[in-house]
């Protein structure tokens, strides 16, 4: 397989992160050849949004060869602004939960991080600097290790979409 040219834009940056708990998924099918996935949620379930400061969402991926084969490690970091009770409550509810994370980049590419067998897990730390100009809020980190690269969302009905712009 050869890639000869890139067409279209290549805008950097990620939109807000979406997550769904593993137990809210009725079906998660990944085509191992195309890496295209389709997720169906249980009837009353929906994707949840986790807001981050603009331009603070970052994904790092690493391939690692092991005796069992190639492993793909992903870490998604984001800065959730302000130390406030509504944020603390949501972040607390994410602790020790298994999630599938959906990230849509500014090019419109939707990618799922996590699988039913190996979901993403959250950790975080509160940042309250002594200087006024420093960042004030939570650094939230989602991590996971998988036997294949993160899958891409199929463009079908029910595919998660970015949240509406509150300024429109």
Domains of the chain by residue range = 19-153
Helices (H), the chain: 85-94
> Which residue has tokens 């981050």?
52
The pTM assigned to this predicted structure is: 0.83
Most confident range, picked from 52-56, 131-135, 149-153: 149-153
Supply the pLDDT for residue 168.
47
Distance CA 23, CA 98 (A): 8
pLDDT tens across 68-114, in order? 899 999 999 999 988 889 889 999 999 999 999 999 888 888 999 99
Supply the pLDDT for residue 58.
93
> Which residue has tokens 């992160």?
17
Cβ count near 150 (within 10 Å): 22
Supply the pLDDT for residue 134.
72
């Amino acid at each position: 397989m050869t890639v000869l040219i890139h067409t279209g834009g290549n805008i950097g940056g990620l939109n807000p992160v979406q997550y769904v708990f593993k137990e809210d998924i009725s079906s998660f099918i990944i085509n191992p050849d195309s890496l295209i996935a389709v997720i169906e949620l249980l009837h009353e379930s929906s994707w949840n949004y986790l807001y981050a400061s603009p331009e603070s969402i970052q994904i790092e991926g690493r391939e690692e060869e092991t005796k069992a084969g190639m492993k793909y490690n992903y870490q998604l970091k984001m800065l959730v602004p302000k130390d406030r009770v509504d944020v603390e409550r949501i972040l607390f509810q994410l602790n020790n939960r298994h999630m599938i994370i959906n990230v849509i980049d500014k090019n419109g590419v939707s990618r799922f991080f996590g699988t039913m067998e190996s979901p993403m897990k959250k950790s975080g730390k509160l940042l309250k600097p002594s200087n006024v100009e420093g960042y004030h809020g939570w650094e939230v980190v989602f991590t996971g290790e998988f036997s294949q690269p993160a899958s891409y969302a199929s463009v079908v009905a029910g595919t998660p979409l970015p949240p509406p712009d509150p300024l429109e």
